[in-house]
Structure 1
Amino acid sequence: MFFTVEKQGFGGAVAPPRSPQGAWGRLVAVTGQEGAWRPRLRGFALCLLWCLCFWLAGCDGPALKGDDLSQAREAVSQRQWSLAERLLERYLRESQDSQDADKRWEAWQQLLVVVNAAGQEPRASLEYLETMQEEYLDDDVRSAVILKRMAEVYEGLHRYGRAVDMWSAYIGLGGLSPQQVLEGYRRLAAMQFSLRRFDAGEDTLQQCLALPLPDHDKIMCMYDLADQNMARERWQEVSGLSQQILDSDPDQSVRGLAGYLLADALEQLGKNGEALKQFELARDAYPNPSVIDNRIAHLRKKLKK
């Protein structure tokens, strides 16, 4: 916006009026060669225009030359997140779904890495993941990766209802390994408990225990069930489940965890002597022995009274 300011009381000299011909008129007046100058100026202006076009194109050089996926790999290695994201988006947009499926999958994975590394909101990852979910709807192997990633993002956002949806879809996929199946059931139950859907969470863990897998593999589902019963102060159920775990000859780490639950439940049931014995048995296998040391000291004082 231009402002016109009228100065009053200005006593200086008045500037002479500008010639309507302006600079061009003065140039012609000096040279007297209007016809000769016009083509030269037009050529000069055209040259400047071309230079400007080449300069603008050069500014985007790394993004517009060569194979986008290769350029994106290089950009990722250089931590040029914005450029990498732009290249990957264009590669995915312009490549056909049927052409080199492995490269498309790599591009999607790289895009998720870039979004996370650039510190964008988790919702940005979800937008890409939702698009991936549609593209790989008929590919159970890749759908498993996508659904797990979506569930974890929703968990981080405390959107446990959506996380339940993702884990429910995950365990329904074909071709999952036993470890993937067990993880899916455990994570689903954990989200249901977070939503205080206790009966649903318990049903999920019971389904896990009914899977046609070796008992040793399913032991953590039983531990989760005991742990959730502990949170609900169902001491007798905790005691029974923990004892079943210990009787199954579990790994040392599981033995320590189950032993702690059993000892805690026995103390809550008023069986202090048995609780002290179980705490002592679990001490060396428990991840944090000092916690058990405090419980042992407390029980010994109680038993002396």
Structure 2
Amino acid sequence: MRRILTLILLAAAMCIAAACSSPSSPGQEDIERARESYSKGFYLEAEKDYERYLQVEPQGKFRKEAWDRLAEIAVTIKGDFDRAVVLLEAMYLELGEDRDTAWKIMFQLGEVYSELGNTSKAIEAFEKCLIHAQGNPDHIYRTQLRMARLYRNMGSYDLVAATLENCADSARDNEAKAKCLYELAQSYSFISSWSQAVKTLDSLLALKDVSDETRALGTFLLADIYENDREYAKARALLESILTTYPNPKVVETRLANLPEVEPEPLPLVPPPSQ
């Protein structure tokens, strides 16, 4: 009798141990296996397990992780942008009530549509980003900057100017403001609106608390404009001022080496031929 009681207690203990070691939810093994596969670079296996987790865990606490990983695999590993659109739109429907999450999903969706060459859908996604970005200056700034580049690719320079001016006005700090102004100056230079470009760059360079790199980029563009206007002395002075701060100093050195030393002499007046 004592032997039987011991066996019963042992069996009960084993059952308890088994219960403790079993997954706490139907998809626990799937999510753990997916994480392990992803960490080892086995992305196709990870993709299958993340998909299975979403299927068996409709209320699972790791659903956002699974969606994020699936979208990442589709975009960066497989380059399957059509699948990424489907994943991100489904993710937005499920998680879009959280403003911050919704902004991130729409921003990524806008980038994916840009890769697909669907500019109208990309703009639509970024417009939704702006709605979700309210109250977050950083999100507003990043969205407006991205939209302006799309407008520029479309050749809609009136929308570029309006978006970047608004970007500069609502920037969270001077560094963000400077980047908006730099993009605006670049856009003016693309349409040969030199006076507007110079005015914008002067505003950028007058700002305080701007990173050396951003300031150097603005200075380089201003030097480019002065060189285009044959004001070589001004261009040289500007280029020499960023020899140690421009991201690629070799570019500055090359420009300086090829820059004329003096201003060009005005062409002499040729008297009209005698009658």
TM-score (norm 1): 0.70
- After TM superposition, the structure 1 stretch with the greater mean CA deviation from structure 2, 156-165 or 217-226, is 156-165
Report 1:157-168 matches (<5 A): 157-168=116-127
Matched with 2:46 is 84
Kindly indicate whether residue 117 of structure 2 is the aligned counterpart of residue 155 of structure 1.
Answer: no
C-alpha displacement at 1:296, in angstroms? 2.5
Answer whether contact 1:235 1:269 (CA < 8 A) is retained.
no
C-alpha displacement at 1:117, in angstroms? 6.3
CA deviation string 1:148-195 (max 9, x = no partner): 211222222333332222222112214664332211111110011111
RMSD: 2.5
Distance, in Å, in 2 between the alignment partners of 1:216 and 1:74 is 40
- After TM superposition, the structure 1 stretch with the greater mean CA deviation from structure 2, 172-181 or 247-256, is 172-181
CA deviation string 1:119-164 (max 9, x = no partner): 2522111111111111123221111221121122222233333222
Answer whether contact 2:148 2:160 (CA < 8 A) is retained.
yes
Kindly indicate whether residue 31 of structure 2 is the aligned counterpart of residue 72 of structure 1.
Answer: no
The amino acid that maps onto 2:163 is T
Distance, in Å, in 1 between the alignment partners of 2:144 and 2:67 is 27
The amino acid that maps onto 1:203 is A
Answer whether contact 1:69 1:88 (CA < 8 A) is retained.
yes
TM-score (norm 2): 0.76
Distance, in Å, in 2 between the alignment partners of 1:183 and 1:174 is 10
Q: Identity rate of aligned residues, in percent?
A: 25
Distance, in Å, in 2 between the alignment partners of 1:304 and 1:285 is 29
Give the number of equivalent residue pairs: 239
Answer whether contact 1:235 1:266 (CA < 8 A) is retained.
no
Mark the CA change 1:84 to 1:251 in structure 2 (over 3 Å): closer, same or farther: closer
Kindly indicate whether residue 263 of structure 2 is the aligned counterpart of residue 303 of structure 1.
Answer: yes
Indicate which of 157, 166, 174 corresponds to 1:207: 166
> Does 1 or 2 have the higher relative contact order (CA < 8 Å, sep 6+)?
2
Gaps of 5+ in 2: 1-25, 266-275
Kindly indicate whether residue 264 of structure 2 is the aligned counterpart of residue 289 of structure 1.
Answer: no
- After TM superposition, the structure 1 stretch with the greater mean CA deviation from structure 2, 68-77 or 223-232, is 68-77
Matched with 1:142 is 101
Matched with 1:122 is 81
Indicate which of 205, 218, 226 corresponds to 1:246: 205
Gaps of 5+ in 1: 1-63
